[in-house]
A and B are shown apart, each in its own frame.
Chain A
Amino acid sequence: MSKQKYPLLTISSEIEQPYNYSLGRYGGRLLKELKHNKKIVGIKCPKCGHVYVPPRQVCGKCFVKMDEFAEISNKGNLESFTVVYFSFLDPETGQKRPVPYGYGRIKLDGADSGFLHFLEESDLKKLKIGMRVEAVFDENRTGNFKDIKYFKITKERNPS
Chain B
Amino acid sequence: MGQRVAIVGTGQTDHKSSRKDVNGVELIQEATARALEDAGLRRQDIDAVVIGNMDHFEGINYVDMWSIDGNGGLHKPVMKVTTGGTTGTTVAIAGYYHVASGLFDTVLAIGWEKNSESDTTAAIITCADPFWERPTFGGAVAGLAGAACEYMHRYGITERDAALIAVRDRKNALKNPYAHLRKEITVEDVLNSPMLAYPIKLLDMCPRSDGACAIVFASEDKTKCITDKPAWVHQVSSRHNFTFFTDVERAGRMPTLYEACMDIYKNEGIKNPLHELDVVEMYVPSSFAGLVWIDALGVCDEGGAARLVSDGVTEMDGELPINPSGGVISTNCIGATGLIRVAEAAMQISGKAGEHQIDGAELALATGFGGCQWSDVLLIGSSKPN
Physical interaction between A and B: yes
| Inter-chain contacts of B20 with A (CB < 8 A) | 8-10
For chain B residues 26-59, which have a beta carbon within 8 Å of chain A? 59
Q: Which B residues touch A92, using CB under 8 A? A: 125, 130, 134-135
* A129–B149 CB distance below 8 A: yes
- Report the minimal beta-carbon distance from B130 to chain A, rounded to whole angstroms: 5
Residues A129 and B153 in contact in the complex (CB < 8 Å), given A89-B122, A92-B134, A113-B247? yes
Q: Kindly list chain A residues whose C-beta atoms are within 8 Å of the C-beta of B243.
A: 56, 60
Interface residues in A, total, Cβ within 8 A: 42
A115 to B136, CA, bound (A): 11
Neighbouring A residues of B146 by C-beta, 8 Å: 80-82, 103-105
Q: How far is the CA of A15 from the CA of B145 in the complex (A)?
A: 29
Chain A residue nearest in CB terms to B128: A116
Asked if A117 CB lies within 8 Å of chain B CBs, one says: yes
B21 interfacial contact with A, CB 8 Å: yes
A81 to B246, CA, bound (A): 12
Q: Report Cα–Cα, A117/B139, bound state, in Å.
A: 15
Choose, from B75-83, B161-169, B195-203, the stretch at the interface. Answer: B195-203
Q: Are the CB atoms of A84 and B138 closer together than 8 Å? A: yes
Nearest Cβ in chain A — how far from B243, in angstroms?
A: 7
B66 within 8 Å of A by Cβ? Answer: no
Report whether over half of chain A's contact residues are helix, strand or loop; otherwise say mixed. loop
Q: Roughly how many angstroms separate A21 CA and B194 CA in the complex, as a whole number?
A: 36
The answer to whether A23 and B150 touch across the interface, beta carbons within 8 angstroms, is no
Complex contact A54–B126 (CB within 8 A): no
Q: B147: nearest residue on chain A (CB-CB)?
A: A80
Assembly CA distance A60 to B20 (angstroms): 44
Partner of B149, one of A52, A82, A113, A114: A82
Taking a contact as CB atoms closer than 8 A, the residue among B130, B150, B197, B244 that contacts A113 in the complex is B244
A21 in contact with B139 (CB, 8 Å): no
CB distance from B212 to the nearest CB of A (A): 18
Known: A23-B131, A84-B138. A91 touches B245 (CB 8 A): no
Using known A-B contacts A10-B20, A113-B247, determine if residue A80 contacts B131 with beta carbons closer than 8 Å.
no
Q: B132 — which chain A residues lie within 8 A by C-beta?
A: 54, 116, 145
Q: Is B122 a contact partner of A85 (Cβ separation < 8 A)?
A: no
Residue of A nearest to B154 (CB): A129
A39 interfacial contact with B, CB 8 Å: no
B141 interfacial contact with A, CB 8 Å:
yes
- Chain B minimum-CB-distance residue to A129: B153
Q: Which residues of chain A are within 8 angstroms of B153 by Cβ–Cβ distance? A: 80, 129-130
Instruction: Pick from B130, B135, B142: contact of A19, CB below 8 A.
Output: B130
Given known pairs A21-B130, A60-B242, A82-B142, the reply for A90 and B125 (CB within 8 Å) is yes
The reply to whether B119 and A88 contact each other, CB–CB distance below 8 Å, is: yes
Q: Is A141 an interface residue (CB 8 A)?
A: no
B183-218 CB contacts (< 8 Å) to partner A: 194-200
Cβ 8 A contact of A116, one of B117, B136, B199 = B136
Contact of A15 among B59, B121, B142, B200 (CB under 8 A): B59
* Total number of B residues with any Cβ neighbor in A under 8 Å: 42
The residue that A85 contacts in the complex, of B131, B133, B195, B246, with Cβ under 8 A, is: B195
Interface residues of A in 116-155 (CB under 8 A from B): 116-118, 124, 129-130, 145-146
With a cutoff of 8 Å between Cβ atoms, the chain A residues found around residue B134 in the complex are: 91-92
Bound-state CA distance A152–B336 (Å) is 41
Cβ of B121: which chain A residues have Cβ within 8 Å of it?
88-89
CB distance from A18 to the nearest CB of B (A): 12
What chain A residues lie within 8 Å of B136 (beta carbons)?
103, 116-118
Q: What's the least CB distance linking B219 to chain A, in Å?
A: 37
Tell me whether A79 and B141 are in contact in the complex, defined as CB-CB below 8 angstroms, given that A60-B242, A145-B132 are known contacts: no
Q: Mark B207-244, 1 if CB is under 8 A from A, else 0.
A: 00000000000000000000000000000000000111
Residues on B with C-beta less than 8 A from A13 are: 59
Closest 10 A/B residue pairs (Cβ): A114-B246, A82-B145, A88-B121, A8-B20, A89-B122, A103-B136, A89-B119, A80-B150, A86-B196, A129-B153
B interface, CB within 8 angstroms of A: 20-21, 59, 117, 119, 121-123, 125-126, 130-139, 141-142, 145-147, 149-150, 153, 194-200, 242-247, 250
Which chain A residues have a beta carbon within 8 Å of chain B's beta carbons?
8-10, 13, 15, 19, 21, 23, 27, 52-54, 56, 60, 79-86, 88-92, 97, 103-105, 113-118, 124, 129-130, 145-146
Using A84-B145, A92-B134, A103-B142 as known contacts, list a sample of 17 further A-B pairs with CB atoms less than 8 Å apart, ordered by residue number in A.
A8-B21, A9-B20, A19-B130, A54-B244, A56-B243, A82-B142, A82-B197, A84-B197, A85-B198, A86-B141, A88-B138, A90-B125, A91-B125, A114-B245, A116-B132, A116-B136, A124-B198
